[in-house]
Structure 1
Amino acid sequence: MIDTPRHQALSSSSRVDILSIVRAAATGSTAAEIVQETDLHPSTVRAHLDRLTTAGLLVRARASNGQPGRPAWRYRTAATGTTPAPAPYRALAAALLAHLTEREHDGDVRGRAAIVGRQWGRQLAAAIPADDATDAAGPVTTVARVLTALGFAPDLAETAPAAVLHLRSCPFLELVSAHPDAMCGLHLGVVQGAWLAVGGPDGDTALAPFGAPTACVVRLPASADRP
C-alpha cells in the first residue's frame, strides 16, 4: 500500500532536494541554512519544510546556538523504524499536550511541560522494582530504563565527566512534529524527575535536540554510576 502523504510530499523535486540537504547535515539544518544552499525564497523553504514535517519525513525542535533570543527551528530526518510508545503513555502525552497548548498564549509552554514531565518521571522511576532501582548500576542506568520503557532507545555514549545518553528513537514523533516545544519540555522533565527520584546528584540536566547526527542528547550532571 502506498504511503500517500509521504509520496505526495516527495512529488516535488525541491522537497526531495531539501530532504537530501537535511539528511547530509550532521546536526540537521535550519530554514536559513537551506535557503543559502538552494537559493529558494525563505517562504517557499518554510512551506516545503512544513510539508515534509507533516508527512513524518522530518522532525523539528528548537536548537540554541548560544545566541540571545528565541532559537530557530532546526530540522533533521525522522528515524526509520521508530517504535511508538505504549498506548497508555501516548494517550497521557496527548492529553497533557492538549492541556498545555491550550495556554500557549501564556508563554513558556516548554517550562510548564517540564514541570509536568518531572512528576511523570518520578512516577515512572518509582515503578521500577526496588532491586533494580537501587542496585550497583546506579541512577544513570535507571534513567536509561525509564527511557527504554517509553521507547526512546537510549545508548550510553559517555560516562565522564558526566553521563551522556543518545536517544536513537522518538516514540512520540507525530506529537513532537506538531508541538516540539511542549513535547521536548515534557521529555526533559521526565529525565529530570527520574534522575532526582533515584538519587541522582544535583546539577544541570539537559536535553539537546539534534545534539548528535542521529540522536537527541541527554546530559546528566554526574558520574554517579562509577565508583
Structure 2
Amino acid sequence: MEGHPVNTDIEAIGALHDPRRRALYSYVSRQRHDVSRDEAAGAVSVSRGLASFHLDHLVRAGLLQVTYRRLSGRRGPGAGRPSKLYRRSDRQISVTVPERRYELLAQLFAGSLDAALRGKVKTSLTRAARSWGRALGATSRLHRPATRGSVRALRELLDGLGAEPYVDGALLRLRNCPFDTVASTYPELVCGTNLNLVEGVMTGLGTDGLEAVLEPAPGRCCVAIARKGGRNA
C-alpha cells in the first residue's frame, strides 16, 4: 500500500509538521519568483545550511520543485555555477480519513450545470454565489467593524479562503485558485461563479469603490480586483 495516493499525500503533509519547514514552505509558496536558499534562510531567520536541508526535504516530498539559474545574469566562462532555486510545485494534496472524493462529486455537478447553464439555472447559480460571498463579507465586517470597506479587510478575507491575494500594479490579483481542479475542466462555469462570489464578498464588506473583473491567465486565479475608474486597488 506504500504507493497508494492517500499514503503519499499523508507523507507529504507530514513533511510540514516541523514549524521551520512549514515556515519555509509558506514563504516560498507566496513568492512570485523562484527563491534561493539564502533568501529563504533570511526570511525565516535560520542558517543557510538548515534552510537547504528543509527545502530539499520539501522537494523530496513533492511540495516544492527546483530550478537552476545564474542570479548574476552572466554567461560563459567565469560566470559561476547556476544557483539552486525553489518554487511551489503544482502538485495538489488533499487528505480525508476515511477517504472522500468531494472533487469527483464537484466535477459531476459542474458537468451537469455546464450542460444546463441556460436561463433560470445560470441566474440561480449567480444569485447563490453572490449571496454566499455577501454573507462571508458581512460576517467579517460584523466581527471587525472598524475595517468596513477597507482593501486590507478584503485581502485578509480572500487570503483566508486560500486565494493568496497580491498587488500587481493597479490590480489586486489572486495567485491561487481554490477551485482549480474543476475550473480547468469547466472554466466558464467556475470562473463566472468565482467572480460572482468575490463580488458578493465585496458587497458584504462594503467595499463600494472596487470592482471584480475576469482576467484569466496561467498560474493564477481568473479574478482580479481594481478600483472603479482605474485607480490602484
TM-score (structure 2 length as normaliser)? 0.45
Higher RCO, Cα 8 Å, sep 6+: 1
Point out the structure with max Rg over C-alpha.
2
Q: TM-score, normalised by structure 1?
A: 0.46
